[in-house]
Structure 1
Amino acid sequence: MTQPIAYHASRIFDGERFHEDAALLVNDGSITGILPRARVPAEFQVVEAEGLIVPGFVDLQVNGGGGVLFNNDPTADGIRTICAAHAKYGTTALMVTLITDTPAVRDMALDAGRSAAEAQVPGYLGLHLEGPHLSVARKGTHDPSLIREMTAGDLAALTSAAGTFGVAKTTIAPENVTADQVRALVAAGYHVSLGHTDCNAETAFAYVEAGATLVTHIFNAMSQLQNREPGLVGAALSAPELHCGLIADGHHVDWTTTAVAMRAKVGPGRIFVVTDAMSCIGTEEETFTLNGRTIYRRDGRLTLADGTLAGADIDMLACLRLVHERLELSLEEALRMVALYPAHAIGADSKGHLSEGADADFVVLTDDLRLRSTWIGGTCVHSA
């Protein structure tokens, strides 16, 4: 066992409040407490963090990074590269996302997730299977030729793999997945998210009753809130059980719309930030391919040739700064949106906060919210 360490900082945010001139106590990869600097036990080695210490960011929708798109490289090495790329921007736990693809690629992804979990790849939390059981009418960038209904074989493949690859999440549309199939997925341990669907609010509520607890990138690729039909957006904002991911890049959702939604959301489910990041994060690449189609990187946006948004060109640290500044949120609430709330959404109780017993996943930031270092399980995985 290594010597316990006390990381001293001018301010430490534990997920709920800031502690001034305090030390984060870390022992064997876990948080053992936060104490005033003067009260640190003698057995702890004191390390000066030289900045703000905040919980590591939790991202539930990451398609790629570091030049790797998971669909194109569904391997444990691909997962390792993606996690390392996002650690450079403060993400300490992420769900690697497979966009709609073939059954063969899905099975490769499940095997890769299993290998990554067994290898304890730093930052790897689990898999998010976004499709292929979606609605063609709300396909977004998903290849319509690959979208299909969930069969008994699909359900068997998913449920038999549950529990082997970390946290399990899947985005489905009621158009192609039955309520009974949702119940079976939830019973197997999946967090079911509604998305890429044109369903009405009544149907959405029925799927909540069946066990769905999340909404994938609210406002994008779904039925909208209207005067006589609330759509999935209306259901998402009014159903307390639903936690809603939001792509906070300013391109996918207008900031005014975001602010209105945050005021309207009924809890305990919260709106939390996802990046929906693609392979270009951490690289200079200007184009890449998905399902044989070219995606173009221009002016902070990723699009297909026809202009359809295709994921996002943003990291979680940039999202933090944007929601803090553009939504005029307190730093405390902005930090919760990128760490605590996504962790709550999937029941990852040891993530997203720095309370006693939590994993020692934290980020050291400057006062102007630039990254100094990223720590996973008490180990520095990136230093600026």
Structure 2
Amino acid sequence: MTAKLKISGARIFDGNSFHDDAVLLIEAGQVKGIAPKSAEHDGAATIDASGLLLVPGFVDLQVNGGGGVLFNEQPTVEGIRQICAAHARFGTTALLPTLVTDARDVTSAAIAAGAAAKVAEVPGFLGLHLEGPHLSVARKGAHDPSLIRAMDDDDLKELLACMRAIGCLMVTLAPENVTKAQVKALADTGVIVSLGHSDASFETACAYAQAGVRTVTHLFNAMSGLGHREPGVVGAALASGPLHVSIIADGFHVDPAVMGIAIRGKQGPGRIFLVTDAMSTIGTDLTDICLNGREIRRKDGRLTLANGTLAGADIDMLSSFRFAHETLGLSMEEALRMASAYPADAMGLSSRKGRLLPGTDADFLLLTPELHLQSTWIAGREIFQAGEN
């Protein structure tokens, strides 16, 4: 593919607003700009996207698996490659392969795989999300309680080394098993520290936000709830302006009415953004999968352990975006921002991802007017087209 591209004919959403009668100019894998349709772009190949919507690629910060691969079960470069490829078929152009609480050797293997994936420039690989093992047993969700533990000095050193090697790392942890000093040490090096799987009080959650917590993992799920006398982690997530907050929009993890209340009630500038929490089922017809030796059953859009506990989600980002737009009634622009711009902001990557502004990566989607995916592009290169195997 040529280093210069001109995408014409589409209605373009740059992450802030729509542009009609315009073209997207791409050079060396980055957005050169959005210009009038008559604009020249010397030496550029022209792609006719007439009748389509051109929008920023989705950014998913919590992806446990896809395409038949669960990161915990295959913590390798090839595993990461397959997960990224599976989600590209649903519009995700940047993601964090996410490791659910596991043994030390599995965590170390996942970190090594992430470092190798960065060197290999795996399309769609953004960095890693380590969800645990430093969580609260009381709010374990589907995490194996026998593997949950306090963060020690070796853990901290490994996380700091991971950040140096990969440059993009999110860690979900709970105050019950991590100190504020450890949070500060992580945040000071650029690690995105997320509060989740915690029974902490409102006061404690706010104190940890002051120490360096930047985001909250899957709002409402596996955390102390919003009470009228004790606001809990949910209250801290909504009331603390700087916190960015993820939510799973599948209709099972959180009731749509509650999602709407939270979105309307979130104090800014931090915003609520979409994550899939997707498992290996995405893009497959699998009916049963395995995590930490435990069976997870897939039925009617839900993934559950034998006891009925939700265990990740069976949803992709395109479906999550549609849910936000069609079921929650959000404008198309806001639903798109929740799937692209806001997660990029949460990671401190607004200058690179989630928008189609000059200098950002040319990661974008072509959608039909009915919001079906026509093609997925990463760094100005088409990596998936509907109808192709």
> TM-score, structure 1 length as denominator?
0.99
Q: What are the Cα deviations for residues 20-78 of structure 1, in whole angstroms up to 9, with x where unaligned?
A: 12111001100000112122335433210241100000000000000000000000000
Q: Which runs of 5+ in 2 are unaligned?
A: none
What is the aligned-residue identity percentage?
Answer: 58
For 2:39, the equivalent position in structure 1 comes to: 39
Q: Secondary structure at the match of 1:324?
A: helix
For 1:109, the equivalent position in structure 2 comes to: 110
CA contact (8 A) 1:125 1:166 kept: no
Does 2:369 correspond to 1:367? yes
Q: Distance in 2 between matches of 1:10 and 1:288?
A: 40
CA contact (8 A) 2:172 2:193 kept: yes
Q: What are the Cα deviations for residues 329-359 of structure 1, in whole angstroms up to 9, with x where unaligned?
A: 1100010000000000001121000011110
Pairwise mapping of residues 144-223 of structure 1 onto structure 2 (< 5 A)? 144-223=145-224
Q: Distance in 2 between matches of 1:16 and 1:309?
A: 34
- The alignment's C-alpha RMSD in Å is 1.0
Q: What are the Cα deviations for residues 69-116 of structure 1, in whole angstroms up to 9, with x where unaligned?
A: 000000000000000000000000000100000110000001000000
Letter in 1 for 2:366: V
Letter in 2 for 1:24: L
For 1:376, the equivalent position in structure 2 comes to: 378
CA contact (8 A) 1:237 1:264 kept: yes
For 2:29, the equivalent position in structure 1 comes to: 29
CA contact (8 A) 1:238 1:265 kept: yes
Q: Distance in 1 between matches of 2:9 and 2:317?
A: 22
Q: Secondary structure at the match of 2:34?
A: strand
Q: Secondary structure at the match of 1:26?
A: strand
CA contact (8 A) 1:372 1:383 kept: yes
Q: Secondary structure at the match of 2:62?
A: strand
Q: Distance in 2 between matches of 1:282 and 1:40?
A: 39
For 2:122, the equivalent position in structure 1 comes to: 121
Q: What are the Cα deviations for residues 132-191 of structure 1, in whole angstroms up to 9, with x where unaligned?
A: 000000000000000001111111111122221241110000000000010111122210
> TM-score, structure 2 length as denominator?
0.97
Q: Secondary structure at the match of 2:213?
A: coil
Q: Secondary structure at the match of 2:311?
A: strand
Q: Secondary structure at the match of 2:165?
A: coil
Pairwise mapping of residues 237-316 of structure 1 onto structure 2 (< 5 A)? 237-316=238-317
Q: Distance in 1 between matches of 2:26 and 2:94?
A: 18
For 1:354, the equivalent position in structure 2 comes to: 356
Q: What are the Cα deviations for residues 210-244 of structure 1, in whole angstroms up to 9, with x where unaligned?
A: 00010000000000000100000000000011100
1:3 offset after TM fit, Å?
A: 4.5
Q: Secondary structure at the match of 2:236?
A: helix
Q: Which runs of 5+ in 1 are unaligned?
A: none
Letter in 1 for 2:13: F
Q: Distance in 1 between matches of 2:370 and 2:220?
A: 30
CA contact (8 A) 2:90 2:316 kept: yes
CA contact (8 A) 1:127 1:166 kept: no
